[in-house]
Structure 1
Amino acid sequence: MGYRVVNAEEKAEAIRLVVEMKCSVPQASELTGVGPTALRRWVLHWRREHAGRTQLPRPQDQDLIESLQAQLALLEAENQVLKKQLPSHLKVLFNRTK
């Protein structure tokens, strides 16, 4: 049994299956036709190179993050307005004046 030369695209796809798609090494190996030992070695090398780096959010995730941040800012602003109005309501309820 011989070996075959794997180009960079096939190697990247095999690594992506294991790292991002959470396939097991044997499953990814079977899907791509790459040997499991080589794939484990590639994944280990990739993880060492990318250790400590966080994955950047995808564009659709970034849109969701921005919309949620805008909603949060609006709710916080509304909360501040309500906090400022609360003492005037307490004056009326408890008939207090300063």
Structure 2
Amino acid sequence: MGYRVVNAEEKAEAIRLVVEMNYSIPKACEAIGVGPTALRRWVLCWRREHAGMLQPTRPQDQALIESLQAKLALLEAENQVLKKQLPSHLKVLFGRTK
């Protein structure tokens, strides 16, 4: 038995059946007419590519992210101020000579 060339549309449809329509791999293989190993590989690759895109951020998580970003910005600003106030003998050690 030879190999069957599957075009991108058929591949996308097979992945959609498994990912969005919750078909099992064997049922999707029957519907599309491809082998289970190939379909498992396609779905695995698709899931790796779309890993972070499937779950939207919850509002409470988004609020936490924003507060942490604000704290980070404040700490970075404080760090810059402290770097400017370094004593001259430490500036030499850190390569900050003028």
CA-CA distance at 1:55 after TM superposition:
6.2
In structure 2, the residue matched to 1:54 is 54
Which consecutive segments of 4 or more residues in structure 1 shift more than 2 A? none
How far does the alpha carbon of each residue in 1:36-68 deviate from its partner, in whole angstroms, 9 at most, with x for none? 100000000000000011368xxxxxxxxxxxx
CA-CA distance at 1:3 after TM superposition:
1.1
2:49 and 2:12 map into 1 onto residues whose CA distance is: 14
Q: Spell out the pairing of 1:47-86 with structure 2 (5 A cutoff).
A: 47-54=47-54
Bigger helix share: 1
TM-score, length basis structure 1 = 0.54
In structure 1, the residue matched to 2:82 is none
SS in structure 1 of the partner of residue 53 of structure 2: coil
1:44 and 1:3 map into 2 onto residues whose CA distance is: 21
- In terms of mean alpha carbon deviation, does 46-55 or 27-36 score higher? 46-55
In structure 2, the residue matched to 1:31 is 31
In structure 1, the residue matched to 2:4 is 4
Tell me: CA distance 1:8–1:55, structure 2 relative to 1, closer, same or farther (3 Å).
Answer: farther
Give the number of aligned pairs. 56
Identity of aligned residues (%): 80
Show structure 1 runs of 5+ residues with no match: 57-98
